[in-house]
Structure formats: structure tokens, C-alpha cells
Structure 1
Amino acid sequence: MAPRRLVVEADGGSRGNPGPAGYGAVVRDGDTGQIIAEAAEFIGRATNNVAEYKGLIAGLRAARELDPEATVDVRMDSKLVVEQMSGRWKIKHPDMQPLAAEARTVLPRGRVTYRWIPREQNKDADRLANEAMDAGQAGRPWEPKARPAAAPPAQEPLAEPAAPKAGWAAPADLGTPTTFVLLRHGETALTPQKRFSGSGGSDPELSEKGRWQAERAAEALAARGTVQAVVSSPMRRTRQTAEAVAARLGLEVRIEEGLRELDFGDWEGMTFAEVQQKYPEDLDAWLGSAKARPTGSAESFTNLTHRAGVARDKIIARYAGKTVLVVSHVSPIKTLVRLALGAPPDSVYRMELSAASLCAVQYYADGNASVRLLNDTGHLR
């Protein structure tokens, strides 16, 4: 069973910086977006940054109390805390170092990811921090207020990673972006017949043509000379494609489970027409909602978006400022592209992604993303 996913939103503030300070944090269910825990506290005289770190620690602890085995997506509007905890910025201030070290001990590092969000998307944590400061300055402890249960979000805004901040280019002081060169695997015997081939099927290997495509991709990428790391889905066809490129570049292949293809359940190995004939209602539901699952599958596009977003953030944290070849499948690659564009879930049905094609996305430190390439097959001609 996949671990439960929780979302922590945290914030802190200081009225004077330094001055009277407090923090707030909420924990949301990763599937419904419902707030399931709150924490806030007045911490006396402190800076904004100290209060923000205190809020992070409180949010992580609340998530651990709910489920110590959960994966946690942390979302904060403090670029400093997000970049430092992601390992992209050094922690130089002596007040920050012990707080960051404490935050890292709450949950295993591999189960926590960090993402910057705009302040307007962090209103609940900000509200709690201000409630705590108001209470502290009035000489009383913060107490949670009775609040009406929130209605489930109409378009599940927390059911997927936040869309990147809009913009064509990031300011120069944000440094070198992290570039994903997204390579779809080469053909298998199922590809020309357009049969569903996910993570729950036969795990086919590359066909002769697929191996040729992988070699052509390797030649093209070696000629460009920009790839500094190779990360692949665990499926056989992606590993074979990645290994062909990595061998040409003198690099090792790192496996990332979150990059695997969607599980198509009972549809595995079938054509679209065969699924339409045998499971027409299930297919219509799947095409109409990101929450719907293929017949016999436990995974929807919403589920895939969760894990693809986590995988993306892990790769960015590990290879900040580098160019990474990410070898994956149709659904994860289309999902990463649509998230970079801030496009709706059904946009994946409007993208063409050929076997062994290349896409490219750049990610900047402030949350900007720029799609640089889509479905390039020039190296196969």
C-alpha cells in the first residue's frame, strides 16, 4: 500500500523583525485538501526567519503525530526556508542552523519535499501565525477556534503540486536553472499497435527499432554535451533507453520510482478500441475526470500527478542547477509538462509524445518554470 500523503503549510511572522513573533502551521490530507491539524504559538521576541522555521518544525511534528509513515509535501512562502531545507542554499546564519537541523530530525529526509508557494496560497498558516501573535501580545496563549468544516475543494487545488509561478525568464540572481531533458523510452512490441502499456503489465523490453531509437537519442545528447546526470523510471524499457544514453555519456543511471508509467489495470495490453468496446463506461469516466481509475487499477491521473510532482522535486533538490536526462513514459512526461505550463489535467490528452522523443523544462529557484521543447524527434530522422 502506498504511504499516506500529507501537506504541511507553515508560516511565521515578527512585528518588528525582530519583535513579537509567532508561527502557524496546518496539515492537510493530500487527497482531499481538508485541514486535519493546526498548530500555532507565540514565541516572544524573534525574527521572521526564526518564526518561519519554528512553524515548519511544528507542522512536521503535527504530520508525524498523524501518521509517522506518511510522505509530506511542505509548502511555504519563505523562499529562504524552502531553498535551505531543499539543500540548494547554504545556511550561514547561526540562529538558523540549529533550527534547520531540528527540522531534519522530525521525519526521514526522503519522505519530505519542499516547494515555494505565493503568500496568497498560504493564507491559513499566515492567519494562525497572526492569531498567535495577537494572543501573545494580549498576554494569553493561542487557542484553536471552532471553525465550520470546509467543503471539499471544487477542483482539488491541493490534489496536485502547485503550478509554477508564471514568467518567461527568471531574474539573474536566481542562478542557473535546473533543466530536465525528458526522454520517452524507445518502442516496444506494443508501441506501434498503440496498446496500453503501464506499470502493471508485462514490462516489455525495447524492440529492435526501440534499441535503434535509444542509440540515436544517445548520439544526439552526446553531441549536445550538456547532460550531467541520468535518472530513469524503474521499468525495463526506460532503463534500457537510459542505459544506452548513459553509456555514451559515461554516466550512471539513477532509478526514481515516481517516474514509472500509470497502472492501467485490466486495460494493460489492450488497444483503445478494445477498451472502448469492453469497458465503455469506465473509459468515459477516465477521460472525463483525473480522479477516475482504469478498470482494475488503484491509480488515477491524480495519483500519478502526486508522485510525479514528488519525483520532480526530489530530482531538482539533488541536481540543482544541472541538466538532467529524465527517462520516463508518456503519462509522467506529459504530466510534468502540463504542470510546468500550469495547464488543466485534461491537457494531457492534447499532447503528442512520440517514442524516443525529447522535451525540455527549466526550473528556477523562485518557482518559475519554462517549457523549452516538446516532442522533438529530429534525432530520429
Structure 2
Amino acid sequence: MATLLEVSLATTLLLLCAATTPLSRSGGFPGPDDALDEPGRRAAAACVLPVRFAGDVLHAPSRAAAETAATMGLAARIDPALADIDHGTWSGRSFDAIASADTAALPAWLADPVQGTPDGETMAQVQARIGRWLNAIAAAPATSCAITHAMPIRAALAHALDIPLPATLAIDVAPLSRTVLSFNGRWRLQSLGLD
């Protein structure tokens, strides 16, 4: 029979934000094929995952998430649910390039980023996807790590803690930052921060 402590910590999830890419560092909408930049690669190499999370590591299907896992020396498997928000036609483009092409588009997005970019996902769609994934994690108790991106981590916080999506945009999710959630009947935030 499980002890009270084992039951209360039945599910623990570390969400690790992928390391930087050139576009994430300079300002823009990273695409799924963006590689880590050299500072991101060095930072990931220096990042050590707590041993308790190393047994079950998942990563988003993006190149940056896969390279973050590989650079950290982690054996990780792809989980499509962890994909970054789809930036649609803005994927892989810098803020400057978008502003040059359409001076009104970027300010309109900045006024309401929850609605997403042209032909991209909305934050509500990301929250629904991540919410289904979190519900599955909660149903199969384990200790695991998921390497993903800032927007899915914000969506996870919105789902787990019942926070309005616009409020999550006020949460800085830095590259290689760690968000730890636990589940025992409901999700709880254990910690949020860097190494």
C-alpha cells in the first residue's frame, strides 16, 4: 500500500524551456527547424537535470528541443503534444521583417497575442492541446521531464492552475528555465525559475 507521501507526489512534471536559437535571441517567431545558437548550446551543455527527472524525458518535435535534450546528454523521445505554438505565416521570421512587410500587423498582434499570428494557432488551441496532454500525465502517475517552449509552458500553467491565458503572458519563461508541477487530485505549482 502506498504511503501518504507517495500518493501526494504521484505525478511530478518538470517543464524545461528549450535553449536559445538565433531568432529567439534576436526577436521573432521561431520555426520548428531552428537550431540552437552557440550560446544556447553552451548553456544547455552546462544544464544538469535533477536525477529524479532523467528517467522519463520527452521533447517537443522542434529541432531546438531535440538539440537541447541531446546537448544535455538526455535520452528523450518526441511527443507531438509538446510542439511550440504554430506561428503560421510568421514562423521563422523576425519582428523587423514582419514590421517591414506590414506596419500594422505586429502592433495588432502585440495588442492581443492570445489570438495568435496569421494562419497560426491561438493560445486557446495550445491550451486545449497541452491540457489533454496534462490530463493524460495526471492519469498515469510518474516523475518526468518535458522539454518544450515558452508558449506551451504558459498554456500548461493556464490549464493546471486555472489562470486566464492573457495573465500567463506576464510570466517570463526564459530559455532553460524550469517549471515544476505536481498532481494529486489537482495540479499545483511546485517551483518556477532557473537553475
Please tell me the TM-score bracket, short chain as reference.
0.7 to 0.9
Give the equivalent residue in structure 1 for 2:64.
237
Deviations 1:165-213 (A, max 9, x none): xxxxxx76844331111111111111220211144xxx11112211111
Deviations 1:84-116 (A, max 9, x none): xxxxxxxxxxxxxxxxxxxxxxxxxxxxxxxxx
The 8 Å contact of residues 258 and 311 in structure 1, kept in 2 or not, is answered as: yes
Counterpart Cα distance in 1 of 2:6 and 2:37:
46
Runs of 4 or more consecutive aligned structure 1 residues displaced over 6 Å after TM superposition: none
Specify which of 198, 210, 226 is matched with residue 40 of structure 2: 210
Q: Identify if the C-alpha distance between structure 1 residues 266 and 230 changes in structure 2 by more than 3 Å, giving closer, same or farther.
A: same
The 8 Å contact of residues 95 and 106 in structure 2, kept in 1 or not, is answered as: no
Deviation of the 1:230 alpha carbon: 0.1
Counterpart Cα distance in 1 of 2:82 and 2:21:
18
Give the equivalent residue in structure 2 for 1:192.
25
Counterpart Cα distance in 1 of 2:146 and 2:61:
12
Deviations 1:302-357 (A, max 9, x none): 11111111222233344x1x221110001001111222221111012201111111
The 8 Å contact of residues 256 and 311 in structure 1, kept in 2 or not, is answered as: no
The total of aligned residue pairs comes to 190
State the secondary structure of the residue aligned to 1:313: helix
**1:316 is matched by which residue type in structure 2?**
A
Specify which of 152, 159, 180 is matched with residue 339 of structure 1: 159
Unpaired runs of at least 5, structure 1:
1-170
Q: Identify if the C-alpha distance between structure 1 residues 186 and 286 changes in structure 2 by more than 3 Å, giving closer, same or farther.
A: same
The 8 Å contact of residues 180 and 189 in structure 2, kept in 1 or not, is answered as: yes
Corresponding position: 1:176 with 2:20: no
Determine which structure has the larger helix proportion and give its number. 2
Deviation of the 1:244 alpha carbon: 3.3
Q: What does 1:258-337 align with in structure 2 at a 5 Å threshold?
A: 258-272=81-95, 275=98, 278=102, 280=104, 284=108, 287-288=111-112, 290=114, 292-297=115-120, 299-318=121-140, 320=141, 322-337=142-157
Q: TM-score scaled to structure 2, two decimals?
A: 0.84
Q: Identify if the C-alpha distance between structure 1 residues 213 and 288 changes in structure 2 by more than 3 Å, giving closer, same or farther.
A: same
Give the equivalent residue in structure 2 for 1:226.
52
State the secondary structure of the residue aligned to 1:191: helix
Q: What does 1:95-134 align with in structure 2 at a 5 Å threshold?
A: none
Counterpart Cα distance in 1 of 2:126 and 2:28:
19
The 8 Å contact of residues 116 and 123 in structure 2, kept in 1 or not, is answered as: yes
State the secondary structure of the residue aligned to 1:204: coil
RMSD, aligned CA: 2.5
Q: What does 1:156-171 align with in structure 2 at a 5 Å threshold?
A: none
Counterpart Cα distance in 2 of 1:206 and 1:330:
15
The 8 Å contact of residues 230 and 324 in structure 1, kept in 2 or not, is answered as: yes
Q: TM-score scaled to structure 1, two decimals?
A: 0.45
The 8 Å contact of residues 11 and 137 in structure 2, kept in 1 or not, is answered as: no
Specify which of 50, 70, 79 is matched with residue 256 of structure 1: 79
- Which piece of structure 1 moves more, 307-316 or 276-285? 276-285
Counterpart Cα distance in 2 of 1:192 and 1:216:
18
**1:226 is matched by which residue type in structure 2?**
R
Q: What does 1:41-60 align with in structure 2 at a 5 Å threshold?
A: none
Report 1 or 2 for greater relative contact order, CA contacts < 8 Å, sequence distance ≥ 6: 2
The structure with the larger Rg is: 1
Deviation of the 1:255 alpha carbon: 1.3
Q: Identify if the C-alpha distance between structure 1 residues 371 and 296 changes in structure 2 by more than 3 Å, giving closer, same or farther.
A: same
Counterpart Cα distance in 2 of 1:272 and 1:197:
11
The 8 Å contact of residues 34 and 92 in structure 2, kept in 1 or not, is answered as: no
**1:284 is matched by which residue type in structure 2?**
A
Unpaired runs of at least 5, structure 2:
none
State the secondary structure of the residue aligned to 1:372: strand
